[in-house]
Structure 1
Amino acid sequence: MERKWWHDKVAYQIYPKSFLDANGDGIGDLRGIISRLDYLKELGVDIVWISPIYKSPFVDQGYDIADYQQIDPIFGTMAEFDELLAEAHKRDMYIVMDLVINHCSDQHEWFQKALQDPEGEYGDYFYFRKGKDGQPPSNYRSYFGGSTWEKVEGTEYYYLHMFAKEQPDLNWENPRVLEELYSMINWWLDKGLDGFRIDAIINIKKDLEFRSFPADGPDGLAGCWRMVESVDGVGEMLEDLKRHTFAKYDAFTVGEVFNMKPEELKEFIGEDGHFSTMFDFSAHKLTYGEHGWYDSRPVQFEDFRAVTVRAQLESQEIGFLANIIENHDEPRGVCTYLPEELQNETGAKLLGTVSVLLRGIPFIFQGQEIGMQNCRMASIDEYDDISTKNEYQLALSAGCSVAEALEACYHRSRDNARTPVQWSSEKNAGFTFGTPWLKVNPNYQEINVAEQQGREDSVLNYYKQLLALRKSPEWAEVFTYGRFVPVLEDEENIFAYERRGEDKSALVVANFGLSEREVPLPSGAGENVLLSNLADVKLSGGRLELLPGQVAVLG
């Protein structure tokens, strides 16, 4: 494998609205991010991915972009962004931005012009289609619920939106659209940006006939992803995108890819793939309910282990995955993948170790490094997320009580990850001296950066040790390029794997169960304890004893 500059890096996602507010308006900003670059450097972060900061009406928290080349004033100015870029580069850190190019905002100049003349030049920037017998052109359900087709008042036209109605899909079959998008991407890369996280990109290829599918719900609609899965040719579009933009700059790219056909993995992240890497969502998919959040089930350990192992084995001959346990679209990992009794500091360290030492690029989401947890809201009014409100209504319409619908949101809402970062035990968790845009998790008194910085056995200090181990001169080669080899697969509640390098190996053994376990060490395993989340590691006669929630890294 040709070695790339990003192979041995650790990435950290910032959700800017909730990271740190420097001016007291209750919303995180660029100045807040700049002030914490040293914190991230000390943690062991190399690549910082910043969720959208472009001009936006924030119907979907900035993933509805009104101007791709302007910073939204709530975050600051372009001069401050340039300062952030310069300060990051000074620290040998890299800045990656979100690239949202499947759709834009209905407030974007292109769409406003298109509405004036759906049959004109800008109408062809989007997908305008005439209805059929007074009904939408097809029966697709959007990702956020309801039809993907929105009627243009006073006309017989509808426009396509696979997300919210305020997020019209861009027409990737129109060369003019591509010219505009490629020019914008190169403008950012010319500024010195180091790459992009690429949002919802698999959706750019459409079936231009927009054929309906058999209904898969009582609303008579079919998920729009059925159309996505039915078409071929997205690879050619992605190669064209890469050739005209990223490849010219050796930019780092990470794709948000759902609905990919398994045989296409090499095309996406192989030696000369469409992207540098793409997120492994296999564990997150275990949280899906058949109809919505209200009928999802707790994730079972055996399933979590199985899908993670499968993703590692399928990818290691091909390329690098981006490994996550949470992000801005998912609830907190500690509350999702661990039994209730391990939803604590011990469990946070366990889960972090298993994820960070996998083969691939570790992505840490803000607050993960202190073990932030889901936030219980008193009513649906305390939530902000558009998807959560839709899922709440879906639960009620399915016959759930208000309490049951709220419980589903507590376990699955995207706002669980979006509550402000807990910096201290001061008012509003030290996030703002104003009124926070979203409720601060009340547990900030116990879980916060300031308290953990001063405590040797904290989650934060453990993460520093974990990242330092991954990047240490002695072990970086093993943890970057070493093979992933699952072991002890028949042991109940044990997740264990080796990272095998050319001349040495490391062993990771984690007890996800609630009882003490003694397991045999694989032959040839080292018995030096490189790291453990609990002080006492019992090794004797080729056997390892693990307390509930304990993880040990041996070399």
Structure 2
Amino acid sequence: MQRKWWHDKVVYQIYPKSFYDSNGDGIGDIPGIISKLDYLKELGADILWLSPIYRSPLADQGYDIADYYAIDPRFGTMDDMDRLIAEAKKREMYILMDLVVNHCSDEHEWFQQAIKDPDGKYGNFFYIRDKKDDKVPCNWRSYFGGPVWEELPGHPDKQYLHVFHKKQPDLNWENPEVREEVYKNIRWWMEKGLGGFRIDAIINIKKKLPFSDYPADRADGLCSIERMLEEAEGIGEFLGEMAEKCFHPYDAFTVGEVFNEKEDEIKDFIGENGYFSSMFDFEETCYGKSEDGWYASKPYLTPEEYKKCIFHTQKKIGDTGMISNIIENHDEPRGVCHYISPEDRCPDSRKLLAGVYFLLKGIPFIYQGQEIGMENMEFTSMDQIDDISTIDEYQVALRAGCSEKEALDAVSAFSRDNARTPVQWSAEKNAGFSEGEPWLGVNPNYKEINIESQLTDSNSLLSFYKKLTALRKAPEYTETLVYGTFAPYQEEQKNLIAYTRNGEKNLLILGNMQAQSQKVSLPGEVKEVLLNNQKAVEITEKEIILKPYQFIVLETADECGVRTAEKKTIAI
């Protein structure tokens, strides 16, 4: 693997609207991010990914972009953005922006020109089709519900394609002019000093043409758009062109939101000279989801299910490239609520989850608030919900026969608003996020879970995340944790997640994901306990006794080693 500047980095995702409000209007902003750079540096973050801050009507919270060259006034100014890039650079940190180019906003100038002249230049920037006998060109269901076709404003005889919200018309990537406009914008931002991009919904840019129906999978007569994506071919031509013209010349770090990739395509996506530097591991994110809707999906994974997912990804990727490891993001529920069952949630299990994912081979991503264990919101009414996908899934659940309470409970477990509640900085008013009324309700548990209280607590989850970043950056262990091999250890042992990272050093990572102690045989002599979420660990002649929810990182003498003969208890 050719070594790159970003391989040993830790990435922190910021959802600007909910991060920190500097001016009291209830909305997080760029100056607020700048004011917290030292906190993020101390945490161990090297790369900061910002969810969209471009000018937008916020139909989908900024993922509907009206101007790719402008900062939305809600978040600040372009001068603020320039200052953020400069201040990050002073701290040897990099800024990533969100690249949203499958679609734009219906308020973008391109779409406004297409409305004026559907048969002109800008009409071909989108997928606009004539209506025939009041039929739509295909029966695909949009990600946010309903058909992907909408009447073109002012033209009752025409319709346009939107695979997301109707205010997010899809760009026609088959048109070279569209691609060149996208590339021009990417280069413009790179020249400003960005470190790269997180690339949104990119798998959708290639459509299976001509448009055609698939068998309906719900009573609405529509089909999941996944059926089309399974058959679409040729996306590599677009992605390869974008990489060669925009990313490779700047040695940019790019991470793709890629679903539906085939195993033989992984090298094309993230291998040597791949389209992207990395892509997210969504194996565990997708596990247990039902195509029928959130109401039929699993609200949380068992330890064995989680282990199955992360190990499958690690084996699948191997040495092909660098995967990006997550437990939550702006589109998912909080990790401690999705990967730990209610009866198992405690301080030690939260640290265990953090350690298990963070030390996998790949690039660790931390989402804002994850480092203190922010939890899902306990929604009591749909009036508290802002997220458009949650609103749609609530209706899906009702149509499936759920009661209003059942539907609310179902969508609450998966709502994107769980991750979008304001960051809990302190126990003060509005969790210290804003002097004004927050745009989205603050989780009531902010007095118990907040950054200020954990900053001074050496036993807090925040302190544990700092230990994880410090271990990954420690000169004697970086080579092993970044480039070392991964191998499952005692994979069949129930409720145990264990694996080795071998390179210059030999590390054994162990996590007991149950409420009972369990014994684990050791591969050889233990040289040192590098990290422990509890006060001590008991090591006997040939095994280690893990307490409930205990997480341990051991350095061993070698991959096989000579077993230790004496019984000892190591405290750290």
Q: TM-score, normalised by structure 2?
A: 0.95
User: Is the partner of 2:134 in helix, strand or coil?
Assistant: coil
What SS does the corresponding residue of 1:147 show, helix, strand or coil? coil
Counterpart in 1 of 2:439? Answer: 437
Match of 2:354 in 1: 352
**How far, CA to CA, are the matches of 2:87 and 2:542 in structure 1?**
49
What do the CA deviations read for 1:406-445 (whole angstroms, capped 9, x no partner)?
1112211111000000000001000001000001000000
Offset of residue 132 of structure 1: 3.4
Alignment correspondent of 1:36? 36
Q: Per-residue deviation at 1:379? A: 0.3
State the one-letter code of the partner of 1:540.
Answer: T
The SS at the match of 1:350 is helix
**1:455-470 to 2 correspondences below 5 Å:** 455-470=457-472
- When residues 474 and 510 of structure 1 are mapped into structure 2, their CA distance, relative to the original with a 3 A threshold, is same
Q: Which digits, 9 at most, give the CA deviation of each residue in 1:343-384, with x for residues without a partner?
A: 232222111101110000000000010011101112001011
Q: Post-superposition shift, 1:525?
A: 5.5
Which position in structure 1 is the counterpart of 2:540? Answer: 540
Is 1:487 aligned with 2:492?
no
Contact (CA 8 Å) 1:125, 1:174: kept in 2 or not?
Answer: yes
Where does residue 223 of structure 1 map in the other structure?
A: 224
CA contact (8 A) 1:507 1:525 kept: no
Aligned to 2:536, what secondary structure does the other structure show?
coil
Q: Is the 8 A contact 1:215 1:221 kept in 2?
A: yes
Which residue is equivalent to 1:123?
123
SS of equivalent residue, structure 1 residue 362 = strand
Once the two structures are superposed, the pairs formed by residues 245-324 of structure 1 within 5 Å of their partners are: 245-297=246-298, 298-324=300-326
1:58-102 deviations in Å (ceiling 9; x for gaps): 010000000000000000000000000000000000000000000
Partners in 1 of 2:263 and 2:393 — Cα distance?
Answer: 29
Aligned residue among 316, 328, 331 for 2:330: 328
Three-state SS of the structure 2 residue aligned to 1:283 is helix
Please identify, of 198-207 and 532-541, the stretch whose mean Cα deviation from structure 2 is larger. 532-541
Q: 1:56 matched to which residue of 2?
A: 56
Task: Name the amino acid aligned to 1:160.
Answer: L
In the alignment, structure 1 segments of 5+ residues that lack a partner are none
Paired residues of 2:323 and 2:362 also in contact (CA < 8 A):
yes
Residues 25-46 of structure 1 show CA distances to partners (whole Å, capped at 9, x for unaligned) of 0000001100000000000010
Summarize deviations over 1:317-367 as a string: whole Å, max 9, x none: 200100000000000010001121332322221111011100000000000
Q: 2:476 aligns to what?
A: 474
> 1:466 Cα deviation (Å)?
1.0
Contact map agreement 2:301 2:341 (CA 8 A) in 1: no
Does residue 1:507 correspond to 2:508, yes or no?
yes
The one-letter amino acid of 1:500's match is: N
Deviation for aligned residue 1:536: 1.7
For 1:343 and 1:97, the matched residues in 2 are separated by 33
Q: Distance in 2 between matches of 1:339 and 1:134?
A: 49
Higher mean displacement: 206-215 or 39-48: 206-215
SS in 2 for 1:451: helix
Q: Give distance in 2, aligned partners of 1:78 and 1:184.
A: 15
Structure 2 runs not aligned, ≥5 long: 556-572
Contact 1:379 1:406 in 2 (8 A): yes
Greater mean deviation of Cα atoms: 482-491 or 541-550 = 541-550
Bigger shift: 392-401 or 59-68? 392-401
The letter of the residue matching 1:45 is: A
Count of residues in Structure 1 that have an aligned counterpart in Structure 2: 553
- Deviation of 1:477 after TM superposition, in Å, equals 0.5
Query: How many angstroms does 1:208 deviate by?
Result: 2.5
> In structure 1, what is the Cα distance between the partners aligned to 2:69 and 2:452?
36
The separation in 2 between residues aligned to 1:441 and 1:544, in whole angstroms, is 39
CA RMSD for the aligned pairs? Answer: 1.0
SS where residue 474 of structure 1 aligns? helix
Alpha-carbon deviations, 1:153-173, whole Å to 9, x = none? Answer: 543211000000000000001
TM-score norm. by structure 1 comes to 0.98
By how many angstroms is 1:527 displaced? 4.4
Would you say the 8 A contact 1:16–1:51 is kept in 2?
yes
**The residue matched to 1:266 in structure 2 has which SS?**
helix
From 347, 363, 366, give the equivalent of 1:364.
366
Counterpart residue number, 1:95: 95
Percent of aligned pairs with the same residue? 57
**For 1:207 and 1:410, how far apart are their aligned partners in 2?**
34
The Cα of 1:131 is off from its aligned counterpart by: 2.7
The match for 1:160 is 161
